[in-house]
A = this chain, B = another copy of it.
Amino acid sequence: MRTLKLTLEYNGAGFSGFQRQKNGRTVQEELERALHQFLHEQVAVIGAGRTDAGVHAVRQAAHIRIANPMAAEAIGKALNGILPRDMAVKKVEEVSPDFHARYNARGKIYQYYVWNSRVRSPLNEAVSWQYPVKLDITRMKRAAKMLTGRHDFKSFQSSGSSKEMSTVRTLARLEIHKKGQLLSFLFEGDGFLYNMVRNIVGTLVWVGEGKLSGDMSALFQARDRRKAGPTAPAKGLFLVRVKY
């Protein structure tokens, strides 16, 4: 058996997320079906993490273990010939047999886009969250700075993950950039709680609007999801890279 690492790009709009499920089209299912088609073996695709329904990926990572000796590059080409237009395999690499896309991941980079204008943008609509109220970017940047570092992000975790685990994470970077009416949020961290990026974006937007205080330490202490801002919609979120 050999292990291959896959780097994937997909447009999240047409997927019920990464992970296979009973109902709804998923990235994993499309990949497994395509692999089976030319490898003629049942292949399990293990992602670096799930992305939710509607979330996009610039470079998601995954691994497969197969017996077939076909060259890695040829597998990539074969896959891209079969896969639907809204997903592609950017790279297939031979890796050490014990490589695991989830367990070996050292960190992730996400990007989130907010279209901050009263007027909707038809060209950005599918890939951003339109927020019509004027936002105080300076205030948001100040709060973002308080969020970076090692903290208990319990207030930014959506319910739905039933496991009782540590909610302490390290957010190495959280940068806000403004280009015209488009705000981008860059996140880099060692791990993210369920909906953590989208909940932080929703919180920062409320801070920018003045609906929430910019004092993030109070939110860390509260450990209460209801004290933070709303969950920003999935369509504005991109998994940019998984670090190993």
Chain A: residues with CB nearer than 8 A to chain B? 9-11, 56, 58, 76, 80, 85-90, 119-123, 125, 127, 238
Which residues on B sit within 8 Å (CB–CB) of A85? 120, 122, 125
- Chain B nearest CB: distance from A181 CB in Å? 10
- Chain B nearest CB: distance from A238 CB in Å? 8
Nearest B-chain residue to A11, judged by Cβ: B122
In the assembled complex, the Cα of A88 lies from the Cα of B118 at a distance in Å of 11
- B119–A87 touching, CB < 8 Å: no
Copies of this protein in the complex:
2
- Chain B nearest CB: distance from A58 CB in Å? 7
Nearest B-chain residue to A9, judged by Cβ: B122
Nearest B-chain residue to A14, judged by Cβ: B122
Of the candidates B11, B76, B120, B123, the one whose C-beta lies within 8 Å of that of A123 is B11
Nearest B-chain residue to A120, judged by Cβ: B88
Q: What would 16 more interface pairs be, CB under 8 Å, given A76-B119, A80-B120, A85-B122?
A: A9-B121, A9-B122, A9-B123, A10-B122, A11-B122, A11-B123, A11-B125, A56-B123, A80-B119, A88-B119, A88-B121, A88-B122, A89-B119, A90-B119, A123-B127, A123-B238
Nearest B-chain residue to A90, judged by Cβ: B119
Which residues on B sit within 8 Å (CB–CB) of A90? 119
Which residues on B sit within 8 Å (CB–CB) of A80? 119-120
In the assembled complex, the Cα of A122 lies from the Cα of B238 at a distance in Å of 13
In the assembled complex, the Cα of A123 lies from the Cα of B240 at a distance in Å of 12
Which residues on B sit within 8 Å (CB–CB) of A58? 123
